[in-house]
């Protein structure tokens, strides 16, 4: 059995996590703190950031603080990262994690849904990367940048098309920047998770037949075999970043799907088309967040969702999603 050498220490480095106030972002920040980094969380909601900092300080490790910032605002991202680099006299690690998830048929989500996904997911990653790179190039430790994509960016997922399109652009950005930044001593890690039990169904946006869309998404996102423990996912992502890996794909199902699509794209597309036939059809235009659907629209299959989604519901409570 091959034994990997110990990952290089990142103790004392300054790290920024966008979308760091809840879910996977919060857990990646926790992993950085465990490695004794000085961590700065970026997110839009000040109250949510305050709760996140409180949780992280209870968990212990390095230092942590929060900065309110909307990654869709290019100038704001540039200003905030410059301030962080100045305050800490360095910027060594940046994880671009912020984004949204929209669930529903493409015609129900409409062109606005695609524009919103590109603005939040892709433009957010792009703004973060371009603002961070000048500082990362000056890092004495050699800068590290991670762009969080998704298996949905490697294999288009029905009823998640705006999300898949935006994450596909993030995948291309990460791969291209990895090549271009190598001469500057900066490594770029493309992160492609599959389903993780982060409690993300609470903040996901649902369109079309919202009740049924919420039912299938919340059940699958929490299914023990298909989804991954989010704390384990965060640990693997930060380790990959620490080791300067160019790419990581998480969950066996995600790796299988991405590999199958690469080797047999026509067959894979036909299989995905068969899956799409059983998903909900029609429904209202526009979107509503998951907590609103769960509270007011009484999604079907309550007992099945209760069984499959139990771990995900607990994750929502633990990882600042409520």
The long-range contacts involving 73-76, CB below 8 angstroms and separated by at least 24 positions, are 73/127, 74/123, 74/127, 74/130, 74/131
Contact in structure between 67 and 44 (CB atoms under 8 Å): no
- Give catalytic residue positions: 163
| Cβ atoms < 10 Å from Cβ of 3 | 5
Tokens of 140: 């004495």
Cα torsion through 184, 186, 191, 197, rounded to 10: -160
Are the C-beta atoms of 106 and 161 separated by less than 8 Å?
A: yes
- What phi and psi values does residue 244 have, to the nearest 5 degrees? 65, 40
- Tell me the C-alpha distance between 127 and 47, whole Å: 24
């Amino acid at each position: 059995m091959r034994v990997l050498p110990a990952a290089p220490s990142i103790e004392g480095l300054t790290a920024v996590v966008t979308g760091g106030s809840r879910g996977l972002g919060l857990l990646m920040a926790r992993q950085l703190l465990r490695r004794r980094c000085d961590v700065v969380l970026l997110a839009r909601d000040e109250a949510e950031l305050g709760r996140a900092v409180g949780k992280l300080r209870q968990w212990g490790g390095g230092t942590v603080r929060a900065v309110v910032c909307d990654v869709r605002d290019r100038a704001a991202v540039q200003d905030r990262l410059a301030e962080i680099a100045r305050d800490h006299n360095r910027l060594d690690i940046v994880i671009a994690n912020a984004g949204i998830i929209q669930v529903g048929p493409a015609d129900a989500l409409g062109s606005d849904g695609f524009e919103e996904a590109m603005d939040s997911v892709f433009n957010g990653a792009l703004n973060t990367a371009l603002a961070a790179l000048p500082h990362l190039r000056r890092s004495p430790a050699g800068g590290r940048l991670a762009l969080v994509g998704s298996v949905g960016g490697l294999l288009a997922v029905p009823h998640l098309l705006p999300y898949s399109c935006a994450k596909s652009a993030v995948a291309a950005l990460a791969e291209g920047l990895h090549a271009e930044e190598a001469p500057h001593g900066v490594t770029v890690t493309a992160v492609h998770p599959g389903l993780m039990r982060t409690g993300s169904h609470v903040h996901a946006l649902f369109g079309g037949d919202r009740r049924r869309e919420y039912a299938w998404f919340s059940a699958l996102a929490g299914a023990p075999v298909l989804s991954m423990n989010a704390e384990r996912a965060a640990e693997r992502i930060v380790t990959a970043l620490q080791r300067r890996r160019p790419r990581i794909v998480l969950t066996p199902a995600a790796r299988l799907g991405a590999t199958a699509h690469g080797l047999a794209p026509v067959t894979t597309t036909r299989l995905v088309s068969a899956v799409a036939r059983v998903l909900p059809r029609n429904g209202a235009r526009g979107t509503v967040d998951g907590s609103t659907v769960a509270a007011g629209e009484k999604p079907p299959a309550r007992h099945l969702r209760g069984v499959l989604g139990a771990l995900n519901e607990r994750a929502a409570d633990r990882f600042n999603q409520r």
